[in-house]
Amino acid sequence: MTSTKHRSQRYQLSEARQAEVERLLAAMTRREKIGQMTQVEYGSITPDQVAEWAIGSVLSGGGGNHGDGSASAWRDGVSAFVAGSHRSRLGVPILYGTDAVHGHSNVLGATIFPHNIGLGATRDPDLVRAIGRASALETAATGARWSFAPCLAVPQDPRWGRTYEGFSEDPRVVTALGRAAIEGWQGDQLERAGVLACAKHYVGEGAMVWGSAGSHRHPWIDWWDGWGAEWQIDQGDIAIDEYTLRSRHLPPFIAAIDAGVATVMACYASWQGQRIHAHRYLLSDVLKDELGFAGFVVSDWMGLEQVDADYTTAVERVINAGVDMVMVPFDFRRFIATVDDLVDQGRLTQLRIDDATRRILTTKARLGLLDPRNDVEAATSVDVVGCAEHRALARRAAAASAVVLTNNGVLPLVSETAVLAAGQALDDVGISCGGWTIEWAGGQGPITEGRTILDGLRAVLGANAVTYSRGATEQTERRAVGIVAVHELPYVEGGGDRADLRLPEDQVALVRHVRRHVDRLVVLVVSGRPLVLDAIAGDADAIVACWLPGSQADGIVDALFGAVADPGQLPIRWKHESTTWSVGHNVPVATHTAEVC
């Protein structure tokens, strides 16, 4: 572990930039400093109000899209907010933040990479770094210079709806890939088309206890179309001792700080019953003082309101604990006035306000935002969004993420094969992308530009050799090989908390139906986590975990035809009623050299 002094030097500014930060800090009124500590959701503020209130950041939450959702509409929308901040009294630009968690995934036509659980299966830091860099270029092209990624959760319970946002249950994998993602996002020179990364959600996430969310979850969840029913473990209580917290969940954040991660997002969950958003020991004593984190801490969406029923007390506790910027996201006036009052009452000190503001300004200086000559927007073009090079990278990642769980010799497939293909997920970009895609919870069908697994099969075998139907019920002729995809429908956060991970009856029936019409059967699992496959394991000659492969799901076909040199390995144990495949499990498949489709 490097020394604290060494780590904090990664955040060191040049003398000139440090002087600029101090000049601004000295010139700012208290209200302007509090404005910098305020992050507002884009639909709850106008560019003129950004100027008037000297707001520090505007964000798009999941599905927070501009105009028609295209990259150019995003660029126009974001630019309007940035221009608004230039009109503020001191002209300090905003940071525009978004959940570009697997590519610039809110934006129509952007390249959608596999979710982290699939990248964890690749064990490939160079690939993850390249994905971070490609995602940064697509994000910066729309004017957004802050991504709320990577998630450094270490998921321990696959019933958790955010399992797919974690790289692995093995902290060593999370540490290596999380660091690589940050290096990709921030690049060698943060100010040159770099995008601020955000190590989230600090700390201990993935170790919550099933059933503990009920007393902790957001008050707003219950009015989210009755979503509250699912929320069972997300945002719940992390009931582990400090040794386990430090040995399993802290290393990815230490590596992130070593890599100079610009921001850290606090975790909604509680540790031993105390909400982490108000946990001074974790947010200040450990993260800032012990580990030398010199960026800034941002709260999560309405994480503030979960801390205390009394709003003023919640604000006092969260900022005193060490949160520097608060994701308000709606009522910025109330937040700013409350902080101002708390300083007047001596419940928040001017020192703390100055410390938070200095961290935020220093981070903006690192990004080059305080240097008027540095205009990254002029240097980027929306043409990079969804470009062929990035799509090829996404396809390579999908191929490398596939984990062959069982194989009775049917893989690798050979190109002269007549195939009966079935299952909605085989031909559904939305299911392949999962949550956090275009909309917060994702969606089904052609939600954005992409290629499906079926597209890949047809490209290799020829359209006539592949008989596809979603349900396969009308199938009568026999085929040499059947390929059936089983799946989870897209979900997000606690909305994906599920106690029962067995396949639905209709999918079991489909597998058994196809089994009766083919000589050999391959089952593909398109899911954000391990599912219980006992009902169909006996029917399959091969089972392949595809995870959530993204917009270039045709990469999965490269793996089926043995075109992947280093096939994926389980990033998380896969439990059945009768057995468990452990982390690292995979079944080698004979490889061909060239890409097959």
Cβ at position 200, least distance to ligand GLC in Å: 6
62 near ligand GLC (CB under 6 A): yes
Cβ at position 61, least distance to ligand GLC in Å: 4
What SS3 class is residue 419?
Answer: strand
Task: Report which residue type is found at 162.
Answer: R
326-327 and 518-526: which strand pairing? Answer: unpaired
**Which residue's CB is nearer to ligand GLC, number 55 or number 353?**
55
Subset of residues 309 to 338 that bind ligand GLC, contact rule: CB under 6 A: none
CA-to-CA distance for 180 and 259, rounded, in angstroms?
Answer: 9
439 near ligand GLC (CB under 6 A): no
Cβ at position 300, least distance to ligand GLC in Å: 5
Supply angle C-alpha 258, 103, 434, rounded to 5.
115
CA-to-CA distance for 69 and 480, rounded, in angstroms?
Answer: 43
271 near ligand GLC (CB under 6 A): no
Helix axes 171-186 and 251-258, enclosed angle (nearest 10): 30
Supply angle C-alpha 54, 15, 294, rounded to 5.
60
| DSSP for residue 115 | P
Reported as type and span, the H/E element at residue 592 is none
**Which residue's CB is nearer to ligand GLC, number 300 or number 316?**
300
CA-to-CA distance for 144 and 132, rounded, in angstroms?
Answer: 14
Cβ at position 267, least distance to ligand GLC in Å: 9
**Which residue's CB is nearer to ligand GLC, number 99 or number 169?**
99
**Which residue's CB is nearer to ligand GLC, number 199 or number 453?**
199
Which x/- pattern, by CB under 6 A, does the window 135-164 give for ligand GLC? -------------x----------------
Subset of residues 182 to 211 that bind ligand GLC, contact rule: CB under 6 A: 200
Site size for ligand GLC (CB under 6 A): 7
Are 522 and 484 contacting, i.e. CB atoms less than 8 angstroms apart? yes
**Which residue's CB is nearer to ligand GLC, number 199 or number 485?**
199
**Which residue's CB is nearer to ligand GLC, number 164 or number 574?**
164
Cβ at position 201, least distance to ligand GLC in Å: 6
Q: Which residues are catalytic?
A: 300, 493
Cβ at position 202, least distance to ligand GLC in Å: 11
Q: At which residue do the structure tokens 């559904």 appear? A: 428
Cβ at position 94, least distance to ligand GLC in Å: 16
Name the nearest CA neighbour of 403 among 533, 503, 515.
Answer: 533
**What size, in residues, is the chain?**
597
CA-to-CA distance for 576 and 533, rounded, in angstroms?
Answer: 7
Cβ at position 325, least distance to ligand GLC in Å: 12
Are 313 and 287 contacting, i.e. CB atoms less than 8 angstroms apart? no
301 near ligand GLC (CB under 6 A): yes
Beta bridge partners of 506: none
**Which residue's CB is nearer to ligand GLC, number 32 or number 99?**
99
**Which residue's CB is nearer to ligand GLC, number 21 or number 100?**
100
63 near ligand GLC (CB under 6 A): no
Cα–Cα distances in angstroms (integers) from residue 582 to residues 153, 370, 530, 576, in the given order = 19, 49, 11, 11
In the set 4, 8, 18, 61, which binds ligand GLC (CB under 6 A)?
61
What SS3 class is residue 85?
Answer: helix
CA-to-CA distance for 188 and 176, rounded, in angstroms?
Answer: 18
In the set 20, 32, 99, 169, which binds ligand GLC (CB under 6 A)?
99
Please give the order of strands across the beta sheet that includes 542-545. 403-407, 542-545, 518-526, 479-487, 419-422, 466-469
234 near ligand GLC (CB under 6 A): no
Non-local CB neighbours of 310 within 8 Å, separated by 6+ positions = none
**Which residue's CB is nearer to ligand GLC, number 202 or number 547?**
202
Cβ at position 539, least distance to ligand GLC in Å: 38
Are 510 and 484 contacting, i.e. CB atoms less than 8 angstroms apart? yes
Cβ at position 497, least distance to ligand GLC in Å: 14
Name the nearest CA neighbour of 530 among 212, 125, 156, 75.
Answer: 156
**Which residue's CB is nearer to ligand GLC, number 261 or number 461?**
261
Name the nearest CA neighbour of 476 among 421, 506, 508, 516.
Answer: 516
Are 292 and 9 contacting, i.e. CB atoms less than 8 angstroms apart? no
CB count within 10 Å of CB 482 equals: 29
300 near ligand GLC (CB under 6 A): yes
By CB under 6 A, name the binding residues for ligand GLC.
61-62, 99, 148, 200, 300-301
